[in-house]
């Protein structure tokens, strides 16, 4: 047996395959603890990412791809906080993937505690210390509110929030070591189908962080302990962005005496985008000084990805609407959808794979049959959902051969 284990370890070292930390799953309703074993991954890969989605609401916001030149933390190319609404529509993508986390106890919403970001239709990425301090979980659960702003939930989203059903943290952190300060929150409601979500990513090349611009959406929650003229109460989404000027294998940070995070920003992400297909979180804010973020590394990435792949839920309206024809079905090259009503209306057509992941979103005006080209879609079962400005126009499923 010893020789077998030695050979296995030697084989893994040669091929580059490694294992990461155990994950602790906590069910907030039953208080059950489940340990999820580590998964193997190829340590020779230098980068990877999960998919992102703009959701069903459209309205993509264009973010700057170059560092700011004004309103900077001294000695850096990273800007100070401003209300996000002063620059962008907070219900636009990707701003609406930013979430405010509220403590939830005895069916009562408590105080806001942290920030997070949607990373799947029913998952939020945040910091572990936002849900667990020392040996105790915070409150009964958490309430996740996307694009919370001016003290209000967004009526555009239905539902406009979701309670959390399960917490996932690394066992290293659970055991009391303040490391791997990441948490996934599994939601009751798959609100990401509307808001969309960003992907998670890692990149082992430190020059990637030095040469790109990163964005931050967060909810500072108290009067700044560093500058009492700056008053925050957690009711407004704030934004800042710029260059990361320091990194090591575990952290990403900004060297500036003014780069001091405010309580409430914990768990917010460093977001990279190209304003086209790439929207990825590369780390979560953990420490105040120097805006220090825990960096998503390969072992972190594959462990969290494994959780999401096994637990993505909530494909909307899976049943086939008998009044809607999709022909041909099954098909190899294309099919057409004939909505039963809504002619002349603008529409958004979303396609979901069998795991509930949004794989394509298109928009247009209903003038007849809508053609769906196969293009890069692989063989399998897909669900479609066509929505107009005020109602569901069509839903059902088809098979690609």
Burial class (CB in 10 A: 0-12, 13-18, 19+), 216: buried
Rounded distance between C-alpha atoms, residue 262 and residue 291, angstroms: 9
Regarding whether 138 and 206 lie in a shared domain, the answer is: yes
Predicted pLDDT of residue 20? 67
Residues across the chain: 401
Q: In this predicted structure, which of 52-56, 117-121, 123-127, 279-283 has the lowest mean pLDDT? A: 52-56
Evaluate if residue 146 carries a pLDDT over 90.
Answer: yes
Tens-digit pLDDT profile for residues 183-227: 999 999 889 988 999 999 999 998 999 999 999 999 999 998 888
What average pLDDT does the structure give for the chain?
A: 86
Regarding whether 337 and 228 lie in a shared domain, the answer is: no
In a domain, 6, yes or no: no
Is the CA virtual torsion 23, 146, 165, 159 positive or negative?
A: negative
Regarding whether 249 and 226 lie in a shared domain, the answer is: yes
Local confidence band at 389 (pLDDT 50, 70, 90 cut-offs): low
For residues 279 and 103, which has the higher predicted lDDT (pLDDT)?
279
Regarding whether 239 and 110 lie in a shared domain, the answer is: yes
Evaluate if residue 391 carries a pLDDT over 70.
Answer: no
Rounded distance between C-alpha atoms, residue 135 and residue 278, angstroms: 37
Predicted pLDDT of residue 340? 67
Radius of gyration of the chain (CA): 22
Regarding whether 372 and 278 lie in a shared domain, the answer is: no
Regarding whether 355 and 274 lie in a shared domain, the answer is: no
Predicted pLDDT of residue 199? 94
Local confidence band at 103 (pLDDT 50, 70, 90 cut-offs): confident
For residues 305 and 138, which has the higher predicted lDDT (pLDDT)?
305
In a domain, 226, yes or no: yes
Close Cβ partners of 235 (under 8 Å, ≥ 6 residues apart): 112, 148, 149, 150, 151, 219
Local confidence band at 5 (pLDDT 50, 70, 90 cut-offs): very low
In a domain, 171, yes or no: yes
Evaluate if residue 174 carries a pLDDT over 70.
Answer: yes
pTM for the whole thing?
0.77
Q: In this predicted structure, which of 68-82, 312-326, 346-360 has the lowest mean pLDDT? A: 312-326
**Pick from 295, 314, 333: which residue ends a domain?**
314
* Total domains in the fold of the chain: 2
Regarding whether 200 and 334 lie in a shared domain, the answer is: no
Regarding whether 142 and 283 lie in a shared domain, the answer is: yes
Regarding whether 193 and 143 lie in a shared domain, the answer is: yes
Q: Are 20 and 41 in contact (CB under 8 A)?
A: yes
Span between the terminal Cα atoms of the chain, in Å: 47
Evaluate if residue 6 carries a pLDDT over 50.
Answer: no
Q: Which two tokens stand for residue 31?
A: 């208080």
CATH number, domain with residue 246:
2.40.10.10
Distances, alpha carbon 200 to alpha carbons 17, 295, 326, in Å: 20, 11, 35
Predicted pLDDT of residue 281? 98
Regarding whether 239 and 160 lie in a shared domain, the answer is: yes
Q: In this predicted structure, which of 94-98, 114-118, 121-125, 351-355 has the lowest mean pLDDT? A: 351-355
In a domain, 4, yes or no: no
Predicted pLDDT of residue 316? 46
Averaged over 58-71, what is the pLDDT?
A: 95
Residues of the domain holding 226: 15-314
Evaluate if residue 12 carries a pLDDT over 80.
Answer: no
CATH number, domain with residue 389:
2.60.40.3080
Distances, alpha carbon 296 to alpha carbons 156, 218, 281, 299, in Å: 32, 18, 8, 8
SS (H, E, C) 79-123: ECCEEHHHCCCCCCECHHHEEEEEEEECCEEEEEEEEEEEEECCE
Residue 166: φ, ψ to 5°: -145, 145
Rounded distance between C-alpha atoms, residue 345 and residue 342, angstroms: 5
Evaluate if residue 237 carries a pLDDT over 80.
Answer: yes
**Pick from 289, 314, 339: which residue ends a domain?**
314
Evaluate if residue 328 carries a pLDDT over 80.
Answer: yes
Is the CA virtual torsion 55, 60, 65, 67 positive or negative?
A: negative
Of 84, 150, 148, 139, residue with least CA distance to 111 = 139
Regarding whether 333 and 261 lie in a shared domain, the answer is: no
Predicted pLDDT of residue 3? 37
Regarding whether 334 and 304 lie in a shared domain, the answer is: no
**Pick from 314, 345, 379: which residue ends a domain?**
314
Local confidence band at 92 (pLDDT 50, 70, 90 cut-offs): very high
Predicted pLDDT of residue 234? 93
């Amino acid at each position: 047996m010893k020789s077998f284990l030695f050979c296995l370890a030697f084989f893994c070292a040669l091929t580059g395959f490694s294992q990461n930390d155990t994950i602790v799953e906590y069910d907030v309703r039953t208080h059950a603890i489940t340990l999820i074993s580590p998964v193997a991954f190829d340590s020779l890969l230098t980068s990877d990412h999960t998919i992102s989605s703009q959701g069903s609401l459209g309205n993509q916001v264009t973010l700057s791809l170059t560092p700011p030149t004004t309103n900077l933390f001294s000695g850096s190319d990273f800007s100070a906080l401003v209300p996000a609404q002063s620059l962008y529509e907070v219900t636009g993508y990707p701003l609406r993937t930013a979430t405010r986390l509220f403590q939830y106890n005895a069916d009562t919403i408590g105080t806001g505690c942290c920030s997070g970001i949607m990373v799947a239709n029913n998952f939020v990425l945040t910091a572990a210390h936002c849900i667990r301090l020392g040996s105790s979980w915070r409150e009964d659960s958490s309430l996740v509110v996307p694009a919370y702003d001016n003290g209000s939930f967004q009526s555009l989203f239905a539902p406009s929030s979701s309670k959390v059903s399960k917490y996932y943290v690394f066992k290293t952190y659970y055991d009391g070591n303040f490391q791997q300060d990441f948490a996934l929150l599994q939601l009751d409601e798959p609100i990401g189908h509307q808001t969309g979500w960003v992907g998670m990513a890692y990149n082992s090349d430190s020059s990637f962080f030095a040469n790109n611009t990163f964005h931050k959406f967060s909810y500072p929650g108290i009067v700044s302990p560093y500058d009492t003229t700056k008053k925050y109460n957690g009711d407004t989404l704030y934004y800042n962005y710029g260059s990361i000027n320091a990194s090591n294998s575990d952290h990403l940070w900004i060297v500036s005496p003014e780069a001091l995070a405010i309580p409430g920003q914990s768990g917010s992400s460093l977001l990279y985008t190209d304003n086209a297909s790439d929207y990825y979180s590369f780390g979560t804010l953990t420490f105040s000084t120097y805006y220090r973020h825990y960096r998503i590394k390969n072992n972190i990435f594959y462990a969290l990805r494994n959780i999401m792949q096994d637990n993505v839920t909530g494909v909307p309206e899976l049943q086939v609407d008998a009044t809607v024809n999709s022909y041909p079905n099954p098909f190899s090259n294309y099919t057409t959808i004939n909505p039963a009503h809504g002619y002349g209306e603008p529409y958004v057509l979303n396609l979901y794979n069998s795991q509930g992941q949004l794989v394509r979103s298109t928009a247009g005006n209903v003038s007849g049959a809508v053609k769906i080209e196969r293009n890069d879609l692989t063989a399998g079962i897909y669900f479609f959902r066509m929505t107009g400005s005020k109602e569901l126009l069509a839903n059902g499923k088809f098979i690609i051969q």
